[in-house]
Amino acid sequence: MALSNQALEDASFRADPVADDAVRALFEQGARGGDLLAAAKQRAAHPDIQRLLAEADRAPVDPDAMERTRRLVLRYAPPIGLALGLKALPTLYALPEIAEALVATGRLVQNGERRMLETAEYLNQLTRPGAMRRDGVGHDATLRVRLLHAASRARLRQAGWARATPPIDQRASVFTLSVFSHSLRAGLTQLGGRLSEQESREHLTFWRHVGPVLGVEEGLIAAHPDDEAALQAQILRARAAPTEAGRALTAALLGALADRPPYRLSFATLAALSRHLLGDELAELLGVPRDGDSRGLRAGLALGRALLRAESAVPGGRLLSQAFGRAFSNGVLAWRLRGPSEWEGG
C-alpha cells in the first residue's frame, strides 16, 4: 500500500471526531480530569460515548500472532527500552506539529524521564496476557490514551492552537503508530536483535490492531513492514524540520536518562548511541551532540549483541528472556515511575 503525498496532506486536516465528540460530552457532564475512561464507562448511555466504546470494541484478527508478539516484546525488553528512548521518541520530535503539541500540553521538557517512563508503562500494559481483548489492560490503556489525545486537542484549541491543521491529526497519528511499530523494530535490529520476517509481520499486525483502538484510521495504516518503513520515511521527508521544541524535548530526554538506572550510561554514550540509531540527518535536526563516546558505543553494542544472541544457544533461553523481560519492565517502572519523584512533589 502506498499513500500519495496528497492523501497524507488531506489526513492532516482530520483528527478523531468520534473521540472528540465523546470528550465533549464528558466535559459537558463535568468530567474534566482524572480517569476519563472510567468516567466514560460510567456515562456509557450517552450516544457519543456509546459510539466511542462500541467502535473500540474490536476482537484481534489473529490472537495467536498477538500472543507471539507479546512474548517477543518481553524477550527483548531491555534493548527495546533503549530503542524507545534513543530512537522512537526522538523520531516523534522531528515533526514540528508533534513536538509543539507535546510541549504545549505539559511539562515534558522539564520531565523527559517521566515522558519515557509513562510511554514504557503503556507498552508494558500491552504485553499483559490478553491485554487487547475487550476491557483488557492494554485495550483500556489504549482507549485512555485516545481520550487523553481528544482532551488535549480540546484544550489546545481553546488555548489558541495556531496551526491550520488540528492538534494530533491523522497524519501525526499514523506517524506516531509507525514509530512504535517500525522504529522499535529497526532500533532493536540495530542493537543486535534478530527478527524473522514472520516476527516483523506479526509485530506490525499487533500495531495494526492497536491503531484503530487508538483512533488511527485503518486506511492509513501500512499492511506490510516495508510499506510502513516507506510511509514513515515519506512523512519525514515532507514534514521533518528543526524546531526549538523538538531539540528541547530531545535534550531533556537524553539528560533525564543519563547515569540513571537501569542502564547507567553516561550522557556522552547515550548521545553516541542515539546518533547511531537515528542516523546523522535526524540526529542533526534534533540537536544530538556529535562528540559522543564512540568507544563506549562500540563496546556496548558488542556486549548487547552477544547477550541477545546467547538466548538461542542456551536451553530454555527464550523462556528465561521472557521472564527476565517481565521482571525488568515491572521492576524499572515500579521503581522509577511509581516511586517518589520530583515530578510528584516527593
Per-residue model confidence as pLDDT tens for the chain (346 residues): 689 999 999 999 999 999 999 999 999 999 987 899 999 999 999 999 999 999 999 988 889 999 999 988 888 888 888 899 999 999 999 999 999 999 887 655 556 667 777 888 899 899 899 999 988 999 999 999 999 999 999 999 999 999 999 999 999 999 999 999 999 999 999 988 889 999 999 999 999 999 999 999 999 999 999 999 999 999 999 999 999 999 999 999 999 889 887 788 889 989 999 999 999 999 999 999 987 667 767 766 775 666 566 565 554 555 555 555 556 555 555 555 554 333 233 2
Q: From CA 155, how far away is CA 20, in angstroms rounded?
A: 11
**Cβ-based burial of 5 (10 A; exposed 0-12, middle 13-18, buried ≥19):** exposed
Which pLDDT does position 230 carry in this prediction?
97
Distance of CA 222 to CAs 1, 3, 59, 96, 209, Å? 6, 9, 19, 23, 12
Q: From CA 45, how far away is CA 291, in angstroms rounded?
A: 58
The three cell numbers locating residue 110: 522539564
Which pLDDT does position 310 carry in this prediction?
57
Which pLDDT does position 325 carry in this prediction?
56
What are the residue ranges spanned by the domains of the chain?
Answer: 5-336
Cβ distance 36 to 147 under 8 Å? yes
Cβ distance 183 to 88 under 8 Å? yes
Which pLDDT does position 110 carry in this prediction?
58
Which pLDDT does position 126 carry in this prediction?
93
Q: From CA 298, how far away is CA 153, in angstroms rounded?
A: 42
Which pLDDT does position 109 carry in this prediction?
58
Which pLDDT does position 341 carry in this prediction?
38
Cβ distance 318 to 74 under 8 Å? no
